[in-house]
Chain A
């Protein structure tokens, strides 16, 4: 057989590797800062761009798209050419991909602290950066697909199946969830509102976990575990079954983020059952990873790379069992909005994602630099510190979540809430926040050891830019192959089939929410926000209030008692974007403005509380927002905002009846400011804080005006 010679270029692999290490440390450091801010609320010192609400999106995006993302590209650029016996299709596309992605990360790191956000979790980037992401993602896909076309092997390996599924699905998710109309260069409104926006958002959010934090990592597992252990994959059949069932079922599971919300029962039910059916497909991946190591367990005991893979894959198994359990309504009634969810995702990220990244890099660096790992002992230490750090992070948060949920739900014998003051339940779990910060610190120290080891290893060797390899030209198709084997020989068809498979669930869940009116029953008394409230809402979004305060009262006795009537779908039809939220570090605000409810506070309370929360609640962990009282409200884009919303179906023409929005805003602002001044507070009409108070006082009122 004639062998063809060709060369792999390791340059992009090396660049993605260093980017992974760098952004990993940055992402973790921002997360650690946020963890400390929750114990020391005044840590940000009144500096807007250091506040929790602005750092949290930076942490999640850096961890997901910068640390894990670069790790994925590192794996793809290293393994794909070797699995397909051809260099990557284009160095130019590769360079655009690399530098484009780093530019996106840099822009994220600048825009998030400035408060430029869409407020959709893990899709917070503003629209110009979204456009850039799509372009770079297409460049990546083009490079990947053209490499597939140019391959020398007849069939494509399971790792590549997972890369393909990742690429097509993320493209679909990202574009659909980010459909938005710009109001200016830095701001936009999503085309969806309220419960529909929440559904699209969590269809995306859940599947960012599925197709950015799971499928590509399974690809990493399928390449690097057999490579590092020199063992064959346990079962090819299992690969096929768990691959297709995983990508088909995952896409349906998003609604489990909205259980007991205003989402119709039928969509919630699909979220529940598809989550439960995901247990086996997920565990199929875990089994195939762990059982591949049969016969190599003696190596696992010594090799830090394999140890990290084993803990990583085990964490994957734990998280993918826990996830479906959290999707059961009875469990979710307790876990949702609490730190339980935070613990759950960190088993996935600190355990599964990061451990696989660490293991892969510890294996790769000596090979890329033709040397030995600088210190195996240090890598082992990193392994133990990271494992302990993960446990110290998550176990206290499980305890915190459980404790707080039970406190929220507890009634006294006379039928009153046992803890009517939300803050009591926060104070109770604060020691767990200390432990979490300790666990996070341990994990971070481990990451520093990792950086040292990678750096020293790289310095001790010399970079191998080009590697020679040889293989026969692509063989002709063989007769008598099974249908799946045939498909493995046709990557373009494979991509199309994968696309069809992942579209089904999303279409069935999302389209009826638009076409069937009964899914979002109209409430006639619900009106658009006034111009001032709208500006206030945009400030609420900018400051990331939704990260600690939900606006979604669930139909439970305790929540209705604490917050007022549960949230209806028809109430949020003008909410672009939805502010349901996913976590209650502070109380729910869905009915904050309703005067007859227990949570109501007068304007002056809000004013004082924004500037110095601890003055009103000594034990509060809310950070201060003094800049809201100093900054002038920017109304330069108000008209554009109103006209975009009018275009999206918010009836502003009817509502304002020809009145100039700015004039309307000024009148309302003057009234609120006057009230504050009467109470002895020195404030001008045109400050941002007036707008956010107006918004808060509007919340939840409309259905009481029927």
Chain B
């Protein structure tokens, strides 16, 4: 009902709110609280309808069409296939060589990996805690770049050293080895762990 007609259509079921001219419902009075007879706002009704339509479509897509983005296992498989396809092809031009790196950038990058990952067991200063001391001259599995690369790549599970082949690229593994050999070896850590392995 348009507002200007309100006064001509006075109906005995209704009184009117003086501030908004909206209809008050007559016998609705609870401890002085009155209620207006306003309709549901149309935009609100539409919002409700749209969410219901969304839900029906969603269920049909899942239960009838088994859409890839709603079936959890398929969504996962798809993501994994995509990742596999996007894997960079190992460029043959820059062949990876297992030789000690001594340039500052590589050493700095190696230190970053050391601090983030290796230090958890070997401590930041290399003194060792759960893992062996990396500053002394004693080695359990050899001290050549190749020996160390193998250990980092495949791990020594029974001692708690996990393989890092899935976490660190070959380059990163080599950098951290270089950091150990160039920077950590021969330093004096705060709390050195007793030597383990054989002296080289």
Contacts and interface: CB of A to CB of B under 8 A. Distances in A.
Contact of B51 (A82, A233, A279, A413): A279
A241 B62 contact: no
Contacts of A679: 130
Interface stretch (A100-108, A347-355, A599-607, A665-673): A599-607
Contacts of B54: 273, 276
Given A269-B62, A416-B169, A236 B35 contact: yes
B38 interface: yes
Contacts of A260: 72
Nearest to B19: A295
Of A157, A281, A602, A618, the most chain B CB neighbours within 10 A belong to: A602
Contact of B83 (A232, A277, A283, A415): A415
Given A234-B38, A236-B25, A616-B130, A273 B59 contact: yes
B47 A279 contact: yes
A302 B38 CA distance: 27
B42 interface: no
Interface string A77-106: 001001101000000000000000000000
B24 interface: yes
A421 B116 contact: yes
Contacts of A281: 48
Interface in B53-71: 54-55, 58-59, 62-63, 70-71
B146 interface: no
A239 B38 CA distance: 11
A608 B129 contact: yes
A616 to B, nearest CB: 6
Interface string A231-251: 111111111010001000000
A413 B172 CA distance: 13
B56 to A, nearest CB: 8
Interface stretch (B26-34, B103-111, B174-182): B26-34
Contacts of B3: none
B31 to A, nearest CB: 4
A455 interface: no
Interface stretch (A376-384, A494-502, A554-562, A644-652): A554-562
B159 A602 contact: yes
Nearest to A231: B19
Contacts of A616: 120-121, 123, 129-130
Nearest to A294: B20
B126 to A, nearest CB: 14
A442 B32 CA distance: 37
Q: How large is the interface on A (under 10, 10 to 19, 20 to 34, 35 or more residues)?
A: 35 or more
A280 B48 contact: yes
A329 B167 CA distance: 28
Nearest to B54: A276
Given A82-B31, A555-B72, A604-B130, A232 B17 contact: yes
Contacts of B166: 416, 561, 598
Interface string A517-554: 00000000000000000000000000000000000000
A417 B85 CA distance: 17
A237 B37 contact: yes
A414 interface: yes
A294 B83 CA distance: 56
B51 to A, nearest CB: 5
Nearest to B124: A618
Given A273-B59, A618-B124, A232 B36 contact: yes
B129 A601 contact: no
Contacts of B86: 415
B6 interface: no
Interface in A145-204: 153, 155, 157
A40 interface: no
B71 A604 contact: no
17 contacts: A79-B31, A238-B41, A265-B70, A269-B62, A276-B54, A277-B48, A284-B40, A295-B20, A414-B88, A420-B168, A421-B120, A556-B79, A596-B163, A598-B164, A602-B160, A616-B129, A617-B120
Interface of A: 79, 82-83, 85, 153, 155, 157, 223, 226-227, 231-239, 241, 245, 260, 265-266, 268-269, 272-274, 276-277, 279-281, 283-284, 287, 291, 294-296, 329, 411-417, 420-421, 423-424, 555-557, 560-561, 566, 595-598, 600-605, 608, 615-618, 679
Interface of B: 17, 19-20, 22, 24-25, 28, 30-41, 44, 47-48, 51-52, 54-55, 58-59, 62-63, 70-73, 75-76, 79-80, 83, 86-88, 116-117, 119-121, 123-124, 129-130, 157, 159-160, 162-164, 166-169
Given A233-B33, A279-B51, 17 more contacts: A85-B31, A153-B30, A232-B36, A234-B36, A260-B72, A266-B62, A268-B72, A277-B51, A284-B40, A416-B169, A423-B116, A556-B79, A557-B80, A595-B157, A596-B162, A598-B167, A600-B157
